[in-house]
């Protein structure tokens, strides 16, 4: 019985809060609604704050507080983790207030909303690429900003995710025995991320993939394709002569030379 009473009390309390908020929302006094929007914002009740800001924002346009309230409106979505709406409002803020001292921070946050929406590596990386574009634009526009270091770190994190996605794609090709596709993909990885700590690994996997492709080819195609293996081996030596993976590359080279000796 006591449990039922508690549940009823909670429901009635929630209903009372909803009713009170609806009264505030319907109030015609703009100053009062602004005050309550700021109150809800301070209390981190962002959904309520958003509705109130939305209802008054056009009425405060042109007033001394317009910029401040608009930023709070945008931030309420950001703090509520609605990053898509936050990005739209941050973008509009920059357009409305290009000379504001707050614009630099807003531009950074706008770019960061894309990073926060970036999915795991296996999925579409449109937002990740957009993050890189906007963060680079931020760095170019504000080279002395204290946030340049953070922006650069975010770009590095995005590139690492794109690198991982490409690696997973290439590895999937290899596991499916699509060796030519794997070789091309690993090669693009090695060329596209020359400063990666795994660049030599990608080149070795390129070499392995071409070897498998040649080995599984028709006899009449093998010489040409094993010649490609040797070409990739030579490139490996030129680029990664001090790599700890060199012994493995040499094994593939030896096997390739032995096979070529027996191909007319």
> How far apart are the C-alpha atoms of 71 and 98, rounded to whole Å?
13
The whole-number pLDDT of residue 11 equals 43
Q: What is the pTM of this model?
A: 0.85
- Does residue 261 form part of some domain? yes
- Does residue 255 form part of some domain? yes
The whole-number pLDDT of residue 6 equals 40
- Does residue 61 form part of some domain? no
10-residue averages of pLDDT along the chain (264 residues):
46 57 90 95 96 96 96 98 98 97 97 97 96 98 97 98 97 98 97 94 98 95 96 97 96 96 80
What lies within 8 Å, CB to CB, of 84 at 6+ separation is: 113, 117
The whole-number pLDDT of residue 19 equals 80
- Does residue 229 form part of some domain? yes
- Does residue 13 form part of some domain? no
- Does residue 183 form part of some domain? yes
What would the pLDDT profile of 101-160 be if each residue is shown by its tens digit?
999 999 999 999 999 999 999 999 999 999 999 999 999 999 999 999 999 999 999 999
- Does residue 138 form part of some domain? no
**Total domains in the fold of the chain:** 1
The whole-number pLDDT of residue 18 equals 63
Task: Write the DSSP string, the chain.
Answer: -HHHHHHHHHHHHHHHHHHHHHHHHH---HHHHHHHHHHHHHTT-HHHHHHHHHHHTTTSTTSTTHHHHHHHHHHHHHHTT-HHHHHHHHHHHHHH-TT-TTHHHHHHHHHHHHHHT---TTS--HHHHHHHHHHHHHHHH-TT-TTHHHHHHHHHHHHHHHHHHHHHHHHHHHHTT-HHHHHHHHHHHHHH-TTSTTHHHHHHHHHHHHHHHHHTS-HHHHHHHHHHHHHHHHHHHHHHTT-TTHHHHHHHHHHHHHHHHT--
Residue 182's domain comprises 177-264
> What tokens were used for 102?
């707050």
- Does residue 39 form part of some domain? no
Q: Put residue 29 in one of left, alpha, beta given phi > 0 → left and psi -120 to 50 → alpha.
A: beta
């Amino acid at each position: 019985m006591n449990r039922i009473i508690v549940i009823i009390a909670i429901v009635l309390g929630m209903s009372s809060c909803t009713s009170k908020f609806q009264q505030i929302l319907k109030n015609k006094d703009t100053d009062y609604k602004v005050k309550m929007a700021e109150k809800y914002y301070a209390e981190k009740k962002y959904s309520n704050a958003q509705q109130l800001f939305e209802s008054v924002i056009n009425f405060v346009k042109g007033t001394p507080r317009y910029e401040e309230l608009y930023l709070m409106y945008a931030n309420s979505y950001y703090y509520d983790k609605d990053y898509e709406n936050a990005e739209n409002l941050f973008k509009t803020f920059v357009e409305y207030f290009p000379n504001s001292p707050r614009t630099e921070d807003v531009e950074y946050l706008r770019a960061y909303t894309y990073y926060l929406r970036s999915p795991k590596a296996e999925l579409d990386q449109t937002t990740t690429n957009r993050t890189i574009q906007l963060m680079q634009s931020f760095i170019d526009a504000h080279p002395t900003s204290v946030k340049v270091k953070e922006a650069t770190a975010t770009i590095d994190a995005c590139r690492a995710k794109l690198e991982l996605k490409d690696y997973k794609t290439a590895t999937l090709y290899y596991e499916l025995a699509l060796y030519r596709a794997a070789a091309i993909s690993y090669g693009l990885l090695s060329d596209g991320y020359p400063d990666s700590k795994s660049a030599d690994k990608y080149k070795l996997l390129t070499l392995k993939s071409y070897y498998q492709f040649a080995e599984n080819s028709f006899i009449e195609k093998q010489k040409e394709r094993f010649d490609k293996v040797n070409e990739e081996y030579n490139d490996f030596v030129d680029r990664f002569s001090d790599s700890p993976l060199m012994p493995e590359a040499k094994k593939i080279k030896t096997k390739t030379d032995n096979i070529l000796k027996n191909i007319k």
